[in-house]
Structure 1
Amino acid sequence: MLSTRLGLGLLKPSNKFLTLKSQQIISKRFINQVTTTHEREQEILTQQRKNRPSSPHLTIYQPQLTWYVSSLHRVTGVLLAGAFYGVTVAYAAGDLFNLGIDSNSIASYFQSLSTPTQYAIKATAAFPFFLHAANGVRHLIWDAGKELTMKGVYRTGYSVLAFTAVIGTFYTFF
C-alpha cells in the first residue's frame, strides 16, 4: 500500500515548477498553434480533400457468389416487407373506406388477367419469397456454427439458388 502511494505520488508532481516546466515542454514539442479564420480552415480542408486518392471501391475486387446472395437477400427482404405493408394498408383502407378491396375482388381481378401476366405476377412474388426464406435458413445454419468454411459457404449459397429456382418455378407454374 505504501509503494502504491509512493508510485502514485511520482505520477502527480506537487511542485508548481515541475508542473509548469512539463506543460512548457509539451507545448513546445507537440502543440503547434496557427491562428486563422473559419473560411480559411474550410479552404484548407477542401484543398486537402482534393489531394486524397479516391477509393477503388468494388471495381478492383472479383465478384463473388457471397456478394450476390447477400445483396439479393437484403433487396428481397425490403421488397417483401414493402409489399406486405402495401397489401396490409390496402386491405385496411378498403375496409375502412368501403373501397371494395377484399380477397374475392382481388381473386376475380387476378383471374381476369392474361395467362402470361398471371405467371409474371406469380414469379415476381414466388422467387423473392423463396430466395429470402432459403437464405434465412442458411443464416440459421451459420448461427448454429455449421458450414462456416469457404467450401460450406459456397455449398450453401448454391443450394439456396437451386432451391429458389426449383421451388420458385414450381409455385409460378403450378
Structure 2
Amino acid sequence: MMSTRALGLSSALRTVAFAPRTLRNQVVLRNGISRRFVQTESLTPTANIDILNKQRLKRPSSPHFTIYQPQLTWIASIANRVTGAGLSVLLYGFSIAYLIAPGTFDSVHVVDFVHGLPEAVKYAGKFILAAPFSFHAINGLRHLAWDTGKFLSVKSVYGTGYAVLGATAVSTAFLTFLK
C-alpha cells in the first residue's frame, strides 16, 4: 500500500490497477455496448434542408457593427479595399469602352469633352478621382512598410494611419487644383 501512495495512485486507480483481469474486461464490455434510447428516423433531403433552415432563422446574428466602436484600422482597411476596387472598375471600364468604341473614347474626344465642362464640374471630377487614388497609393506605401516589419506596434499603426489621412488630404488638394 505504501508503494501505491508513493506512486501517486488514488484509490479508484488502485482498484482498477489491481483488480483481476476478468473483472476489468466485464466493465469494459458493459460500458462499450450501451443501448441507445433515442429513436431516429430517416428524412428526405428536402426535409433535412427545411429543418436546417428553421434552425438558422433562430440563431442570433453577430452584433459586430453594433457593439464595437469604429477604429481607424478597420475603417482604413475597408477604405483601401473600396478605393482599390473603384479605381479598378474605372480603369477596366474605360479600357473596355475604348475597345468597344475607340472613336468615341480616344484621348482627343475625352479631352474635348472635359474642356467643354464648367469649371466646378472639372474640379469636382478631379477631386472624385484624386481622393481615392491618393488614399490608395499612400496607404499602399504604408502596407509596404508593414511588409518589411516596420510600424507594427499599436501606437505606430495609428500614427501611420493619421499620417496617411493627412498626406491624402494634401495630395488630393494638390491634384485637384493642379492645372
- Given the two structures, how large is their TM-score scaled by the length of structure 2? 0.74
**CA separation in 2, counterparts of 1:123 and 1:112?**
18
**In the TM superposition, what are the counterparts of 1:42-53 in structure 2 within 5 Å?**
42-53=49-60
Aligned pair 1:36/2:42, yes or no? yes
Residue 45 of structure 1 and its aligned partner are, at CA, apart by 3.1
Secondary structure class of the residue paired with 1:148: coil
Corresponding residue of 2:151: 147
**CA separation in 2, counterparts of 1:51 and 1:58?**
20
**CA separation in 1, counterparts of 2:79 and 2:61?**
27
Q: Does the 8 Å contact 2:98/2:104 carry over to 1?
A: no
Q: Does the 8 Å contact 2:123/2:177 carry over to 1?
A: yes
Corresponding residue of 2:142: 138
- Given the two structures, how large is their TM-score scaled by the length of structure 1? 0.76
- Answer with 1 or 2: which has the greater Rg: 2
- CA gap of 1:45–1:172, structure 2 versus 1, over 3 A, is same
Runs of 4+ in 1 over 4 A off after TM superposition: 29-33
Corresponding residue of 1:61: 68
Aligned pair 1:127/2:131, yes or no? yes
Letter in 1 for 2:70: P
Residue 71 of structure 1 and its aligned partner are, at CA, apart by 0.8
Residue 135 of structure 1 and its aligned partner are, at CA, apart by 0.7
1:45-69 per-position Cα deviation (integer Å, ceiling 9, x unaligned): 3443344333212111011011111
**CA separation in 2, counterparts of 1:93 and 1:50?**
47
Letter in 2 for 1:71: I
Q: Which runs of no fewer than 5 residues in structure 2 stay unpaired?
A: 1-24
Secondary structure class of the residue paired with 2:115: helix
**In the TM superposition, what are the counterparts of 1:1-174 in structure 2 within 5 Å?**
25=32, 28=34, 34-38=40-44, 40-95=47-102, 99-174=103-178
RMSD (Å), alpha carbons: 2.5
Secondary structure class of the residue paired with 2:149: coil
- Of all paired residues, the percent bearing the same amino acid is 45
Q: Does the 8 Å contact 2:98/2:105 carry over to 1?
A: yes
1:117-159 per-position Cα deviation (integer Å, ceiling 9, x unaligned): 0001101111100100011110000000000000011011111
- CA gap of 1:116–1:42, structure 2 versus 1, over 3 A, is same
Letter in 2 for 1:159: A
